[in-house]
Chains A and B, each alone.
Chain A
Amino acid sequence: DSGVTQTPKHLITATGQRVTLRCSPRSGDLSVYWYQQSLDQGLQFLIQYYNGEERAKGNILERFSAQQFPDLHSELNLSSLELGDSALYFCASSNPGQLTDTQYFGPGTRLTVL
Chain B
Amino acid sequence: AQSVTQLDSHVSVSEGTPVLLRCNYSSSYSPSLFWYVQHPNKGLQLLLKYTSAATLVKGINGFEAEFKKSETSFHLTKPSAHMSDAAEYFCVVSARSGGYNKLIFGAGTRLAVHP
Contact = CB atoms under 8 A, between A and B. Distances in A.
- Is the pairing of A and B real? yes
Interface of A: 2, 4, 42-45, 48, 55-58, 90, 92, 98-100, 102-103, 105-108
Contacts of A45: 102-105
Contact of B44 (A44, A57, A58, A105): A105
17 contacts: A4-B43, A42-B107, A43-B90, A43-B105, A43-B108, A45-B105, A56-B100, A56-B101, A57-B100, A58-B103, A98-B101, A99-B32, A99-B103, A102-B49, A105-B45, A107-B43, A108-B43
Interface string B45-57: 1100101000000
Chain A to chain B: the 9 pairs with minimum beta-carbon distance, closest first: A105-B43, A43-B105, A58-B102, A105-B44, A57-B100, A100-B32, A99-B101, A56-B101, A45-B103
Contacts, number: 54
Contact of A44 (B43, B46, B105, B108): B105
B54 to A, nearest CB: 15
Nearest to B41: A107
Interface residues of B, number: 21
A49 to B, nearest CB: 12
A107 B38 CA distance: 10
B94 interface: yes
B101 to A, nearest CB: 5
A56 B44 contact: no
Given A45-B102, A45-B104, A100 B43 contact: no
Contacts of A107: 41-43
A21 B108 CA distance: 25
Contacts of A108: 43
Given A42-B108, A45-B103, A56-B102, A100 B94 contact: yes
B66 to A, nearest CB: 18
